[in-house]
Amino acid sequence: MRVVLSGGGTGGHIYPALAVASQCAEEIPGSEFLYIGGKRGLESSLVPKQGIPFEAIDITGFRRKLSFDNVKTILRFLKGVQTSKKLLRAFKPDVVIGTGGYVCGPVVYAAAKLGIPSIIHEQNAIPGLTNRFLSKYVSTVAVSFEGSGSAFPSARHVVYTGNPRATTVCAADKRKGFETLGLPESSSIVLVVGGSRGAKAINEAMVQMAPLLKQSEHLQFVYVTGDSYYASTVEAIKAKTGDLPANLQVLPYVHNMPEVLACTSLIVNRAGASFLAEITALGIPAILIPSPNVTNNHQEKNARTLENSGAAEVILEPELTGGSLYASIERVMNDLPRHNAMSTASRALGKPDSAHLVVEELRRLALNGQSRS
């Protein structure tokens, strides 16, 4: 099967696409891939490292306010459609999948206009502008949250697959996670992550919370700051405590996050859809601090989905302090029945076979496309 993948801007759009490619290669040996991404997005560096052929188009997103830049964006979109058509005609894919980000717009739209079976995957509970636009043209819309298909009233076909990234973490070896952190396998680990680039509000709360950690010596805290916040955060914690608490590790980045997640007892993080797919696949209780700086406040909707199912506590950013975060951690980690119930609820939301379900839909669309040709 020949598959074109598109998705970009952030890891939340790229990693699901890579998970689909990996699963497709496993299930359908001999599959060939082409990834079409943006020139400026993270995908331009991540995808080639995975050995997947990569082509770039020049595209930007719309500004929410009236701006002449939107005229330039429309022109880039039209040029991106032309470039995408050339790439698609040359590669001759059986199916095209877009996993989000504005780069998907011209690629998937071009596929639809060429009559190539196409699918978009929506990671969030509230769909983004690009996927709402594309849903009118594609063969299938795949969603990560059960019931969220109602957000696509114009779609021809909607299927609930979950997020393909969930499949990736299920294969992770938690022993390697303990080894990465240099901790014994009996450790209870509270992992705090602000996202791949970090989060200022979470950094500030962690600095405030650091003096309290000596009260929880039975827990090991691992804080991933993001590269840009690492040095200043370490310095700020040392200024408050004299030195880093013995049960706190501060890291700029974790390159093998699936393994570290597999050995985690409680996660504190934003509410990006791909990360939530990972933690529910593993059944990790969560304290979620949704970012307020996202389109349609979709992270809070993502977080409330877990909270309403009993899998997470939610702290909105205006309510976030070192004290409120520490109290929430204590509530979960010092109440074993509550921790176990949250873990069970989290696992019930997970779909470890997500990547397989997406590949099955790709296979179905490709076969249907071949039967019509």
Q: Are 205 and 343 within one domain?
A: yes
Nearest CA-CA partner of 232 in 54, 63, 240: 240
Please report the pLDDT score of residue 314 as a whole number: 97
Q: Are 152 and 173 within one domain?
A: no
How far apart are the C-alpha atoms of 124 and 271, rounded to whole Å?
10
* Residue 11 marked as a ligand binder: yes
Q: Are 196 and 322 within one domain?
A: yes
How far apart are the C-alpha atoms of 54 and 208, rounded to whole Å?
44
| 287 φ, ψ (degrees, to nearest 5) | -115, 115
User: Is residue 62 pLDDT above 60, yes or no?
Assistant: no
What's the structural domain count of the chain? 2
Report the percentage of the chain scoring pLDDT > 70: 95
**Average pLDDT of the residues in 47-62:** 86
Three-class SS state of 191: strand
How far apart are the C-alpha atoms of 291 and 200, rounded to whole Å?
11
What are the residues whose beta carbons fall under 8 Å from the beta carbon of 171, sequence distance 6 or more? 258
Q: Are 15 and 127 within one domain?
A: yes
Q: Are 43 and 143 within one domain?
A: yes
pLDDT class for 102, splitting at 50, 70, 90? confident
User: Is residue 196 pLDDT above 70, yes or no?
Assistant: no
* Residue 38 marked as a ligand binder: no
Beta pairing, strands 140-143 & 158-160? parallel
Range of the domain at 89: 2-163+352-372
User: Is residue 271 pLDDT above 70, yes or no?
Assistant: yes
Report the percentage of the chain scoring pLDDT > 90: 72
Residue 141 zone, left/alpha/beta (φ > 0; ψ -120 to 50; rest): beta
What does the mean pLDDT of the chain come to? 91
**Average pLDDT of the residues in 289-314:** 91
Please report the pLDDT score of residue 79 as a whole number: 92
Please report the pLDDT score of residue 127 as a whole number: 86
How far apart are the C-alpha atoms of 119 and 137, rounded to whole Å?
9
pLDDT class for 40, splitting at 50, 70, 90? confident
Please report the pLDDT score of residue 71 as a whole number: 64
Q: Are 213 and 237 within one domain?
A: yes
* Residue 269 marked as a ligand binder: no
**Average pLDDT of the residues in 338-364:** 95
Q: Which has the minimum average pLDDT: 49-63, 173-187, 201-215?
A: 49-63
Q: Are 101 and 192 within one domain?
A: no
> CA distances (Å), 257 to each of 252, 337, 350, in order?
12, 27, 17
Q: For the packed helices 298-308 and 336-349, what is the interaxial angle rounded to 10 degrees?
A: 120
Q: Are 191 and 203 within one domain?
A: yes
Q: Which residue is listed with tokens 């909270």?
A: 307
Residue 98: give its domain's CATH number.
3.40.50.2000
- Reported in sequence order, the residue ranges of 234-273 that DSSP labels E, i.e. its strands, are 248-251, 266-269
Contact 234, 212 (CB under 8 A): no
Three-class SS state of 331: helix
Q: Are 343 and 198 within one domain?
A: yes
* Residue 196 marked as a ligand binder: yes
Tokens of 33: 């891939």
Q: Are 126 and 194 within one domain?
A: no
Long-range contacts of 152-159 (CB under 8 A, 24+ apart): 152/122, 152/127, 159/357, 159/361
What are the residues whose beta carbons fall under 8 Å from the beta carbon of 305, sequence distance 6 or more? 125, 145, 349
User: Is residue 370 pLDDT above 90, yes or no?
Assistant: no
DSSP 28: S
What are the residues whose beta carbons fall under 8 Å from the beta carbon of 310, sequence distance 6 or more? 341, 342, 345
pLDDT class for 29, splitting at 50, 70, 90? very high
Q: Are 114 and 212 within one domain?
A: no
**Average pLDDT of the residues in 332-355:** 95
pLDDT class for 58, splitting at 50, 70, 90? confident
* Residue 10 marked as a ligand binder: yes
Q: Are 158 and 189 within one domain?
A: no
CA angle 155, 160, 163 (to 5 degrees): 115
